[in-house]
Every structure is written in C-alpha cells, then in structure tokens.
Amino acid sequence: MLNQEQLTNIDKAKDILMKGGIVACPTETVYGLFASALDDDAVRSIYKIKGRPSRNPLIVHIHDINQARDFCDIDDIQYDTMNKAWNIYNYSVSFVLRMKDNPDVNISKLATSGLETVAVRIPMDPVANAMLKACGIPLVAPSANTSNYLSPTNHDMVVMDLGDKVPLVLDNGSSTRGLESTIIDISSGVYRILRPGVLTYSEIRSNLGINTEEYCATYENIVAPGMMKKHYSPRIPMRINAYDRKPGEALVGFGNSVPDCDFNLSKSGDLHEAARNLYATLKKIEDLGIYISIAISAIPEEGVGIAINDRLRRGSAPSEPADQITIERCKPYV
Ligand code: AMP
Ligand code: MG
C-alpha cells in the first residue's frame, strides 16, 4: 500500500517526466534515475547527470509486458519466459530483446546507444510500478548515482550524491533486493546472462526453464557498465577476500567469517541480507571519513553470493584511464 505522500509524489513525478524532466525513484534492486525513453533530450540529461559514457545503453522500464510489444519483437517463447519471470515469480530481471523494425513508439537511439537490441524490465517496487503506470510511456532508468561509484539503495544515498541535480527523489525505504537486476539476453536463439543478480542461476534454470547449456556469460560486442572491470566502486580503495585489518582499514565481515569485524553484511550469514546491506554499508564507511580503505571478507560463491562477488571484484579493481576500459566478462556458469 502506498501512503498519501507517495501518491502525491507520484503525481509530481509524472508531471516532471512527461515534460522531459528527471526523477529519482526507488526500485527493489537499487534506486534509479528515470526519464522518458521517447525523449532524446531527457535521455541525454541522464547520461550527463551520471557522467555515464553514451555508448553504455540504458534499461527501458515498463509496467506491463505488452508495452514492450510497442517497440520489441517478442515471440511466444520469449513472452512465456518474460511472463514467468515478471508476473509469476516477481524476479528482478532485465531481458535484452530485438527492436521492432517499425515500432509503434520510438525509443530514443541514445537510450540504446544505437544498438538493434534493447534491455527491458518491469520493476517490482510498488512506487516505481505506480509511477510507470501513471506515465503510460516507457522510462529509461540507470542507477541513481555518479557513474562507476556505489549504487544507492535508499533515498538519502541518492540525495547525498545527486540531490542538487534531480528535482524530486521518491522514497520507499531501503531497496528490498539491493543489487542491480540480472540481465539476460534473449534476443537470439542462444540465451546469455550478461550480468548476474539476485535471481540465481538455479532459479533461472528451474523456474524460467532456460537450458543451462545455453548459459554463457560473455558478450563481446558492447561496452556495458555491468561488464566493466572497474565499476560499483567505493571512493576509497577496497580489497576482497580479507582475513584481517591493516591500519586505517574498515573490516567488513559476513556471518562468522572474521571475528572482530567493524561491520557485518549479515550476522546470520544470509546472502540475501548481505546483498541488501552491501552498498549502504560501503557508503557508510566511505562517508564516515575515518577509514582510508575497506577490507571485505570472502563471500560464498553460491546463489546470490555470485552476484555479490561480481560487484565486489569490479568495485575493488584498480582504476583505469577512461580510454582504456577493460571489459571483464562474468564468469561462465558451469
Ligand atoms: P545499469 O548500469 O544498471 O543501468 O545497467 C544497464 C545494463 O544493461 C548495462 O550493463 C547495459 O550495457 C545493459 N544493456 C542495456 N541495453 C542493452 C542491450 N541492448 N544489449 C546488452 N546490454 C544492454
Ligand atoms: Mg549503475
């Protein structure tokens, strides 16, 4: 149930978005920066506010599968997969589809970086969903943060980072999943996972019924933020698989992994809880200003841990000059 303040803010958001403005809004993965997917200027300002390279395509958000039919080719098998994922299982997953040759609505070429494919997602968060329904048009939404840094999982994280650049930041507490959506390319006969997320490989296999042999988390042709070696980074250095603390480091544990940690992603060793706490914990350490770096203990490489480790590997990778960005593929699933 949405409260009165949320309903009023959704009305305000609609006014802003339909005039080509930008709004930050919660989703269950992370908070997003929303704009009309049909408006070149609005999409351009998203890239500008984030400092995101324009060759990195955005995910187009909708509230109903049939909305995707306006601009994507969707056959019965693809529809069935999307329907199971979004309407039956409430998964936080984005699907990459082929654009229609003659679309009924024109998605900005800036949003897709000129590709012949487009990533689409129905967010499960009720505020995001109601906002999309109120607008009735597809909206692009990358995470509501300065490019390459930590994704925001609550209202205040967005305000601290982009508050002076965005007129309205909607609030629905902490994101319930805490990691960016799983991205699955279903645009050709061979399905590929482009980015792991809270939705695990075994859920994809058993519940979406996708043949596991088709998993191949490689994608050569585009530079995607989710594939960059350096991404999702705190503003201070971070090292992973740590057992102990060096001087000035904040030690982050998981369960009983390190006995005297300063912060624990989940005392009970619950990977879903760790995913929910990950970005806010790293942001808190960054903002406290008393630590020079972060040491984070090993997270089990299973279930949601695969996506947590994917983000931690990228977040702890050494900085690279903008013109020498290395693409790091997700680990192939075996
Ligand atoms: P985010 O930074 O969470 O907005 O991530 C968007 C992700 O979706 C990036 O990794 C993009 O490269 C990916 N993406 C968006 N559109 C496409 C597409 N057409 N094909 C492949 N990946 C895409
Ligand atoms: Mg992002």
Report the atom number in ligand 1 closest to the C-alpha of 180: 3
Closest ligand to Cα 180: 1
Return the amino acid letter for 196.
P
Q: Whose CA is nearest to atom 12 of ligand 1?
A: 224
CA–CA distance, 289 with 286 (Å, rounded to integer)? 6
Burial 7-24 (b: 16+ CB within 10 A, else e): eebbeebbebbeeebbbb
Structure tokens at 261: 């940690």
Burial 122-154 (b: 16+ CB within 10 A, else e): bbbbebbbbbbebbeebbbbbbbbebbbbbbbb
Per-residue pLDDT at 333 exceeds 90: no
Closest ligand to Cα 196: 1
Q: How confident is the model over 114-136, as a mean pLDDT?
A: 97
Q: Whose CA is nearest to atom 4 of ligand 1?
A: 142
55-113 pLDDT, tens digit per residue, is: 889 999 999 999 999 999 999 999 999 999 999 999 999 999 999 999 999 999 999 99
In degrees rounded to 5, what are phi and psi of residue 51? 70, 35
Residue ranges of the chain that CATH labels 3.40.50.11030: 238-316
Residues in the ligand 1 pocket, defined by CB under 6 Å: 56-59, 96, 112, 115, 117-119, 142-143, 180, 183, 194-195, 222, 224-226
Structure tokens at 210: 């996708």
Answer for the pair 251, 144: CB distance below 8 angstroms, yes or no. no
> pLDDT exceeding 70 applies to what percent of the chain?
90
Edge-to-edge strands of the sheet including 293-296? 238-239, 293-296, 249-253, 263-264
Rg (CA), the chain: 19
SS3 content of the chain, % helix, strand, coil (to 5): 30, 15, 50
Q: What is the pLDDT of residue 223?
A: 42
DSSP state of 20: T
Structure tokens at 242: 């740590």
Res. 228 pLDDT band, cuts 50 70 90: low
Report the atom number in ligand 1 closest to the C-alpha of 56: 12
* Best of 46, 59, 150 for a ligand 1 pocket test (most atoms within 8 Å of beta carbon): 59
**CA-based angle 112:97:179, to the nearest 5?**
75
Res. 126 pLDDT band, cuts 50 70 90: very high
Closest ligand to Cα 150: 2
262-311 pLDDT, tens digit per residue, is: 999 999 999 999 999 999 999 999 999 999 999 999 999 999 999 999 99
Q: Which of 221, 217, 220, 181 is nearest to 199 (CA)?
A: 181
Q: What is the pLDDT of residue 232?
A: 87
Q: What is the pLDDT of residue 211?
A: 64
Per-residue pLDDT at 36 exceeds 80: yes
Q: What is the pLDDT of residue 135?
A: 98
Q: What is the pLDDT of residue 227?
A: 57
Q: What is the pLDDT of residue 214?
A: 43
Res. 334 pLDDT band, cuts 50 70 90: very low
Q: How far is the CA of 176 from the centre of ligand 1 (A)?
A: 21
Q: Which residue has the higher pLDDT, 26 or 330?
A: 26
Q: What is the pLDDT of residue 192?
A: 83
Neighbours of 93 (CB within 10 A): 25
- Lowest model confidence (mean pLDDT) among 55-64, 108-117, 172-181, 323-332: 323-332
Closest ligand to Cα 279: 2
Q: How far is the CA of 256 from the centre of ligand 2 (A)?
A: 30
Strands (E) in the chain, as ranges, are 23-25, 32-36, 59-61, 93-98, 117-121, 139-140, 182-185, 192-195, 238-239, 249-253, 263-264, 293-296
DSSP H/E element including 203 = helix 201-207
User: Which CATH number is 4-215's, of 3.40.50.300, 3.40.1010.10, 3.90.870.10, 2.30.42.10?
Assistant: 3.90.870.10
Q: Whose CA is nearest to atom 2 of ligand 1?
A: 142
Residue ranges of the chain that CATH labels 3.90.870.10: 4-215
Q: How far is the CA of 81 from the centre of ligand 2 (A)?
A: 25
Neighbours of 1 (CB within 10 A): 4
238-272 pLDDT, tens digit per residue, is: 999 999 999 999 999 999 999 899 999 999 999 99
Residues 259, 197, 53, 332, CA torsion sign? positive
Answer for the pair 38, 70: CB distance below 8 angstroms, yes or no. no
DSSP state of 72: B
Report the atom number in ligand 1 closest to the C-alpha of 59: 15
Q: What is the pLDDT of residue 18?
A: 98
Mean of all residue pLDDT scores within the chain = 90
Structure tokens at 134: 């109120």
Per-residue pLDDT at 209 exceeds 90: no
Q: How far is the CA of 151 from the centre of ligand 2 (A)?
A: 6
Asked if CATH classification 3.40.50.11030 holds for the domain at 238-316, the reply, yes or no, is: yes
